[in-house]
Structure 1
C-alpha cells in the first residue's frame, strides 16, 4: 500500500494538480484583495459613499439595541444579520475570477490549436494541358487523357 501511495503521489498529474491548487488559492487571495481594496471603494464612492461590506439587514436585534453602524458591531451585540453587501463582494469576486480563468483557457486553447494544425498536404494538382483539377498521383488526366508522367 505504501508503494502504491508513493507511485500516486509522485505521478506527474498529482503534482501538477497540487501546484494548480496552490496557485489557485494564491490567485483567489489576489482577486479578493483586488475586489475589496481596489474595485469596491471607487464603486461605493460613485454610489454615494456606500461600503458594500457593511450593507446588511438586521433580522433580530441583539442584546444591545440597534441601529448598528457595521456588521461587526451588529455581530458583537449578538444581532442576527443578513449580510447582502458581503454577498455582492463575493459575487463580483467570482465574476472576476471566472473572467480571468476564461481568458487563460481561451489563450491556452488558441496555442493548442496552432500547435495541432499540421501543414496542408496537397491532394490534387492541375493538369498542365487542360488545367483541370486531378489527383496528385494521377499518371493520365481524366479530362483530356494527356499522359502526365513526363509533366
Structure 2
C-alpha cells in the first residue's frame, strides 16, 4: 500500500495540482487584500464615505453583516475574472502551439502503396 501511495503522490499531475493549490491560495490572499484595502475604500468613498465592511442589520443580539458579504462577492468576481483571463490566455497559447506543431501525415506504408498501384491498374483496365 505504501508503494502504491508513493506512486500516486509523486505523479506529475498530483505535484502540479499541489503547486496550483498553493499558488491559488496565495493569489486569493492578494485578491482579498486588493478588495479590502483598495477597491472597497474607493467604493465607500464614492458612496459618500460609507465603510461597506461595517454595514450590518441588527437582529436582536446578533447582526447580519451584509457589508462583509458584499466584499466577499466582489472578491469572488475578481478571482473568477482573473482565472477566466488566465485560462483564456493559456488556451490561446495552446492553440498557437498546436498550429505550429501540426505534424505532417505519415508516409504511406508499403502495403498502402501496393494497394494504390493495384487500384490504379484496375481503373486503367476498366476504362481501357
Q: Do both share a fold (TM > 0.5)?
A: yes
Check if 1:21 corresponds to 2:35: no
Check if 1:92 corresponds to 2:74: yes
Aligned with 1:112 (options 94, 102, 112): 94
Give the corresponding residue for 1:6: 6
Q: For residues 21 and 52 of structure 2, what CA distance do their matches in structure 1 show?
A: 29
> What is the aligned length?
102
Q: For residues 96 and 15 of structure 2, what CA distance do their matches in structure 1 show?
A: 27
TM-score (norm 1): 0.65
More helix by share: 2
Q: Secondary structure at the match of 1:117?
A: helix
Q: Quote how far apart the aligned CAs of 1:56 are.
A: 0.4
Give the corresponding residue for 1:35: 35
**Unaligned residue ranges in structure 2 (runs of 5+):** 105-128
Q: Secondary structure at the match of 2:63?
A: strand
Q: For residues 15 and 42 of structure 1, what CA distance do their matches in structure 2 show?
A: 39
Question: CA RMSD for the aligned pairs?
Answer: 1.2
Give the corresponding residue for 1:134: none
Moved over 6 A (4+): none
Give the corresponding residue for 2:59: 59
Q: Quote how far apart the aligned CAs of 1:117 are.
A: 1.5
Q: Secondary structure at the match of 1:48?
A: coil
